[in-house]
Amino acid sequence: MGLPREQTGGFTYADYLTWPEEERWELIEGVAWSMSPAPGRSHQRILLSLARLIAASTDSGPCETYVAPFDVRLAEDQGAGPTTDHADDAITTVVQPDISVFCRPEFLDEAGAKGAPDLVVEILSPSTSYKDQTHKLALYERHGVQEYWIVNAEARWVMVYRLGTDRRYGKPDYYRAGQGGAGQEGEVITSAVLGGPGIPVNSFL
């Protein structure tokens, strides 16, 4: 189908595999979204710090933690199972979450993942903020991502969406960083996926 153009529809994972390796793209329902420019230094610092903290929780259990670039393929009719029976030209959604946690090993293969993560973290940047808070929010809810964390580095808060029994996201919980000084240590993010005592926002923001 040729080289991608941002927000042009009709692409599949088969097309995605032919695009230049030096360019980063995501597909959401066949629409191409550019991942350029590369994230800035602050974004990378937060990503590395938070990934370490999350991985510390998953290393001792059944879950595994991955950081971008890591392809997550999602088929619209996959339900709760992996996309094992879907050809490359039948998959129209491929995303690269900043951090993804998988607790079901059958969803993982050498190409990345073939089903929805249990937990996703996206760190907002000027080029991705709108998509992360609209298109990806709806996508992750529809595919059953149990927890979706949105990190706002500038405002120093984390917004956590949790999937309810109706398989919908309810009102998000906000966790804010402290400003320093006595009694200002910041709030602690609790996670049903990760378990444990939680992750202080000040430990990565």
More confident residue, 59 or 166: 166
Rounded to whole angstroms, the Cα distance separating 33 from 41 reads: 22
Tally of domains in the chain: 1
pLDDT of 204 higher than 50: yes
Is the predicted pLDDT of residue 161 greater than 90, yes or no?
Answer: yes
- Tens digit of each residue's pLDDT (9 = 90 or more) over 28-65: 999 999 887 778 899 999 999 999 999 999 988 889 99
In this predicted model, what pLDDT tens digit does every residue of 62-104 receive, in sequence order? 899 999 999 999 987 655 455 455 678 889 999 999 999 999 9
Is 67 part of a structural domain of the chain?
A: yes
CATH of the domain at 139: 3.90.1570.10
74 backbone dihedrals φ, ψ, rounded to 5° = -130, 125
User: Domain containing 165: what range?
Assistant: 13-203
Question: What's the angle, vertex CA 155, arms to CA 68 and CA 27, rounded to 5?
Answer: 30
Burial of residue 114, with CB atoms counted within 10 A of its CB: 0-12 exposed, 13-18 middle, 19 or more buried: buried
